[in-house]
Chains A and B, each alone.
Chain A
Amino acid sequence: METKETVHVNNANVFNVKDVSVSYGEFVAIKNVNMDISKNKITAFIGPSGCGKSTLIRTFNRMNDLILGAKVNGTINYQGVDLYDKMVDPVQVRRRIGMVFQKPNPFPKTIKENITFGLKVNNMTDNMDERVERALTQAALWDEVKDDLNKNALELSGGQQQRLCIARTIAVEPDTILMDEPCSALDPVATKKIEDLMQELVKEFSILIVTHNMQQASRASDYCAFFTTKTSDDGKRRTGELVEFNETNTMFTNPDEELTEQYISGRFG
């Protein structure tokens, strides 16, 4: 597919974000974001509530299209293709860029059907049993559920449900996984399992994760983006902005920005 403008395509990047702003009607949720997201790395988005990090992550697989009045300005290049090009079908985008949500949302079907649904949708109906097993194994869930694949997924624990949602996402073989606070509804043990899992998955996928939990970002990510909310001069509007985008190690030991330093040391936010 031809894109309107030739962009610098770095093979090490999966996304190039240029001057991106997202607004809902009059309200600008986040503005002027510029960043390159590396392939096969974990990139974490952190920042206080309302800073637009969840809004931003939803632009990467065009889930924002589903919200009435949401508008994305600027360009997001996905492997060199403008995701918001008129010719791009969001359904095809979501087949390559999977998403795991804040609250585990398994379908009220059996464990197996939760995986096969996505396979059928994506015409991956060959060797289904094998694909189900592989996805569940990759999501570190296989051993726990292999004997009751026909059990209703809603009977699983919260952590298992979230790993099932991850399994269902990787089953359709995306190259990128977006995670929107995937552990916020889970206890520390389940959280640990998901974090360990991410370290395995990143060998095969690029991972973007929004998190409220700074320890999680420092433990689990390679790169880290810190967003904050800026209030307009008249005090009426609050807009999210990217403050710093850096390697996680640098960010947590020697951040470039004073604001980042304040946030990660717990002095605000």
Chain B
Amino acid sequence: MSLLSELSQTSMKPFEKVVKFFITVSAFAAILISISIVFTLLTEAINFFQDPAVTLKGYFTATRWTPTFQNPEYGVIVLISSTLYIAVIACLISFPLGLFSAIYLSEFATKRTRKVIKPVLEVLAGVPTVVFGYFALNWITPNIIQRFIPGTGVFNALSAGIAVGIMIIPTIASISDDALNAVPNSLRNGSLALGSTRRITALKIMFPAAISGIIASFILGFSRAIGETMIVTIAGGQYPELNLDPRSAMYTITSSIVNVSLGDTPHGTTAYNALFALGITLFIMTFILNIASDYVARKYRKEYE
């Protein structure tokens, strides 16, 4: 056999071709599915806005969300504000706790402690959210909120927000911990060699060096809080009017989607189509946040290449 024919022998055996085909199809399937989801949401949302009872102005200015009432109103601002309100409560809980556990894990814990705590945190991330929902409704509300803040309803934003916050602590802790670990050990040594304590090293050197990754974890946590469904549906209630009192029930985008889709709302009605308008609203919100988090995270990766 000549050298040329030897070199031109293809190494792509039939089996490898099959494997390559399936891998390619799977990769494109993910993209295709995402596109079709957006497409479905969009077409149904357009149907929603074609109802004369719905106006884009009303969608953003009305202060009630009552699509199944006799005189329906579609004030999405009610839902957006509730969603953000509960997400902010969740962030107030999860940002400090998540960040402190990350700093503890990466800067103070011994290897052995870390080996125990990190998996426990990850288990917390694996608890089904419905469990957190009942935990909020049946434990946090009666034992903490109602005991210390009189006049709180059974369903309230505070309890839902706290439970969502607990749920996203592992997300924050784990990503921030990764960010801190990505900071070269030589910086830690450099700081300690100058006679600084572990505390100063953690706060003044490691934390600023990992800040982009930490911010990315915050944005991702916030995005998860916005998209969280079961906890807010179970513990947050469905109060359809604009309201900023944390002691009372609220109505998030996600819980109104659950509420309408669980009821007997007939297919094709405006109330039904409203689901898709909400879906696309939620999609846009989390999409922007995820892109922001990705952007920040990529920026921090550049710093140490």
Contact = CB atoms under 8 A, between A and B. Distances in A.
Given A107-B205, A121-B195, A122-B194, 15 more contacts: A68-B111, A91-B192, A92-B195, A95-B194, A96-B195, A105-B187, A105-B189, A107-B190, A108-B208, A108-B209, A109-B208, A118-B194, A121-B194, A121-B200, A168-B194
- Residue in B110, B190, B209 with the greatest tally of chain A CB atoms within 10 Å: B190
A121 B192 CA distance: 10
Band of interface residues on A: 20 to 34
A166 B191 CA distance: 13
Contacts of A108: 187, 208-209, 303
Contact of B193 (A68, A94, A154): A94
Those 9 A-B pairs whose CB atoms lie nearest each other, nearest first? A95-B195, A105-B186, A118-B194, A99-B193, A121-B196, A105-B190, A94-B195, A108-B209, A94-B193
11 contacts: A91-B196, A95-B194, A98-B194, A105-B184, A105-B189, A118-B196, A121-B195, A121-B200, A122-B194, A169-B194, A172-B195
A134 to B, nearest CB: 16
B22 to A, nearest CB: 44
A66 interface: yes
A18 interface: no
Contacts of A168: 194
A65 to B, nearest CB: 9
Contacts of A91: 192, 195-197
A106 B204 CA distance: 14
Interface in B181-229: 184, 186-187, 189-197, 200, 204-205, 208-209
A63 interface: yes
A263 interface: no
A101 interface: yes
Interface string A149-163: 000001000000000
- Residue in A96, A108, A169 with the greatest tally of chain B CB atoms within 10 Å: A108
A165 B111 CA distance: 29
Given A101-B186, A103-B186, A61 B194 contact: no
Contacts of B187: 105, 107-108
Given A91-B197, A108-B209, A63 B204 contact: no
A92 B209 CA distance: 25
Nearest to B190: A105
A94 B189 contact: no
A66 B195 contact: no
A63 B192 contact: yes
A98 B193 contact: yes
A61 B197 contact: no
A172 B192 CA distance: 13
Given A103-B186, A105-B184, A108-B303, A117 B191 contact: yes
Contacts of B303: 108, 154
A258 B112 CA distance: 46
Interface in A64-100: 66, 68, 91-92, 94-96, 98-99
Contacts of A101: 186, 189-190, 193
Contacts of A122: 194-195
Nearest to B186: A105
Contact of A94 (B192, B204, B205): B192
Given A117-B204, A121-B200, A66 B194 contact: no
A140 to B, nearest CB: 20
A261 B22 CA distance: 65
A94 B197 CA distance: 10
Contacts of A68: 110-111
- Residue in B187, B192, B200 with the greatest tally of chain A CB atoms within 10 Å: B192
Contacts of B196: 91, 117-118, 121
A55 to B, nearest CB: 14
Given A68-B110, A107-B205, A117-B204, A63 B186 contact: no
Interface string A98-132: 11010101111100000001100110000000000
A26 to B, nearest CB: 17
Given A68-B111, A105-B184, A108-B209, A63 B193 contact: yes
A15 B303 CA distance: 40
A98 B192 CA distance: 10
B195 A118 contact: yes
A103 B184 CA distance: 11
